[in-house]
Amino acid sequence: MPQIKLAVFDMAGTTIHDENSVAKAFQAALNKHGYPLVSLHEANEKMGYSKPQAIKELLEIHEKDLSKITAELIAQIHEDFVMGMMDYYRTDPSIRAIADAEEVFDQLHKWGIKVALDTGFSRDITDIILNRVGWTDGRYVDATAASDEVPEGRPSPHMIHKIMSELGIHDPKEVIKIGDTEVDVNEGHNTGCLMSIAVTSGIFSEEELIPHNPTHLVKNLTEILDLVQEYEQSFQQG
């Protein structure tokens, strides 16, 4: 039985408070470029994916002439989305860590477990968020990965592999993944993580997450500590 050495958390909606701002900015960027029928529900369904990939998939739904879906158009929409999110995360007073996130990070560290973050955001947005909540000094977070730093974003395993490599962890069964979306759960599964835990405090309910077969469902981050303790106790017993 492998010991848990790394916990990889999602950011927006899981460890960073989010009032559906990501989906709203995503919807607004697509609306601006001539796609007014993209709904907030559709935008929510793409949360967790790398944003260029999500834009491409929504354009394929709303653009009848597929020849218009060019790399240039996707890049223009993504640029508008990034600018909107950077402004939001720099200035909005609601930006803060999820309740108990830092307490959970601290306890995992006390147990010898590294803490990392991965995200569907690009690195520029990621760094603004980390600076805003004060997670840049290594006290709370040991490593981070953004979707534009790897060949493919979630649900592929590339970001977790990147983090594992940086932290010297070789066995995915020593890793647990925590997030609030379908792609978080599938990223954990595709990496072969010991646990792929879904948190229901984000935009998706328990009923919406269950079909994606998370290994565990929790209502808040502190429940993760119970799961880790239970596992570690069974690890010590044999």
- Provide the domain count of the chain: 2
The parent domain of residue 26 ranges over: 21-91
Residue 202 has pLDDT above 90, yes or no: no
What is the CB neighbour count within 10 angstroms for residue 96?
12
pLDDT score of 85 = 84
pLDDT score of 1 = 59
Tell me: the pLDDT tens digits for 217-235?
A: 999 999 999 999 999 888 6
Buried b (16+ CB within 10 A) or exposed e, 122-146: beebbbbbbebbebeeeebbbbbbb
Average pLDDT over residues 203-214: 93
36, 60, 91: which is the final residue of a domain? 91
pLDDT score of 25 = 85
On whether residue 158 sits in a domain, the answer given is yes
- My answer on whether 100 and 50 are in the same domain is no
Do residues 179 and 187 make contact, with C-beta atoms less than 8 angstroms apart?
yes
Tell me: the pLDDT tens digits for 137-151?
A: 999 999 999 999 999
On whether residue 70 sits in a domain, the answer given is yes
On whether residue 169 sits in a domain, the answer given is yes
- My answer on whether 87 and 105 are in the same domain is no
- My answer on whether 188 and 111 are in the same domain is yes
Burial class (CB in 10 A: 0-12, 13-18, 19+), 189: middle
Residue 238 has pLDDT above 70, yes or no: no
pLDDT score of 76 = 95
On whether residue 1 sits in a domain, the answer given is no
- My answer on whether 233 and 115 are in the same domain is yes
Find the CATH number of the domain harbouring 229.
3.40.50.1000
- My answer on whether 10 and 44 are in the same domain is no
Tell me: the pLDDT tens digits for 152-166?
A: 999 999 999 999 999
Find the CATH number of the domain harbouring 43.
1.10.150
For residue 72, give the nearest of 85, 88, 59 by alpha carbon.
59
